Amino acid sequence: MFIDFHTHRRILPENSVEIISVHPGKQSPGDWFTTGYHPWWTFEKLSETEFLVLSEASAKKGFLAIGECGLDRLKGPPLNVQMDIFIQQIQLANTLQCPLIVHCVRAFQEVMDVKKQLGKTPWVIHGFVRNKILAGQLLDKGICLSVAPYMNMPVSFRETLEFLPLDMIFLETDSEYSLSIGDRYKIFSELRRIQIREAEKIFFDNVCRFFTWKEMMLRDGLNAVNY
């Protein structure tokens, strides 16, 4: 079974499970989902009503984490506004004792700093495509990484994928659907010289362990897909 750790569209490919990333009002949850206010589309600190939307979503059975949320130097409101909104969602994740799915573009130091100061639950940066030096710095701070391997990757990204410890990473499609999650498992498995069945087990265990607060329910739900 292939697990798409982070996607925005429910495709339901055979032998696959998707974790849908929902921005309130923009996507619909799947069986498993995360929800948060994305920095591209959120321009003011969250209101009580917006907090209520997140709180109501967190009460649903398939809810796994807050996010994606985070910081983006290239798009969205000024970074200080983004930081205020990000911190609000970090604090909510702390209150719920659930993980955080982080969107980060050219603000990795800020993310590492705020993780050290405020982060009390598991974090993952999704869509990571940078070099292995930065990857190592993030991993050293306890931040996991989600990646989307593809054909003809630049050398720096291939080196990152060869370097990443297998117990702190996930595979995703995000919003790029030219390759299925199964294709990305195949590319990653060939790069790391492991059997695809081994990769399936690794990422199954990683997902269940990352979402520890719902691990038993998640394991039962994912195992049911195989029957």
**How far apart are the C-alpha atoms of 109 and 26, rounded to whole Å?**
29
Other C-beta atoms lying within 10 Å of the C-beta of residue 46: 19
* Tokens 């370097």 -> residue: 163
Domain boundaries, the chain: 2-225
**How far apart are the C-alpha atoms of 37 and 44, rounded to whole Å?**
11
How high does pLDDT run on average in the chain?
A: 95
Q: pLDDT digit string (tens) for 140-165?
A: 999 999 999 999 999 999 999 999 99
Between the alpha carbon of residue 178 and those of residues 41, 42, 150, 183, the distances in Å are 25, 28, 9, 10
Least confident of 22-26, 108-112, 180-184: 22-26
Does the pLDDT of residue 226 top 70, yes or no?
A: no
What local confidence, expressed as pLDDT, does residue 227 receive? Answer: 44
Q: pLDDT digit string (tens) for 21-73?
A: 999 988 778 899 999 999 999 999 999 999 999 999 999 999 999 999 999 99
Cβ-based neighbours of 171, under 8 Å, separated by 6 or more: 2, 3, 4, 5, 146, 147, 148, 149, 181, 184, 185, 188, 203
**Looking at the DSSP assignment, which residues form a beta bridge with residue 103?**
70
Which architecture does CATH list for 2-225? Alpha-Beta Barrel (3.20)
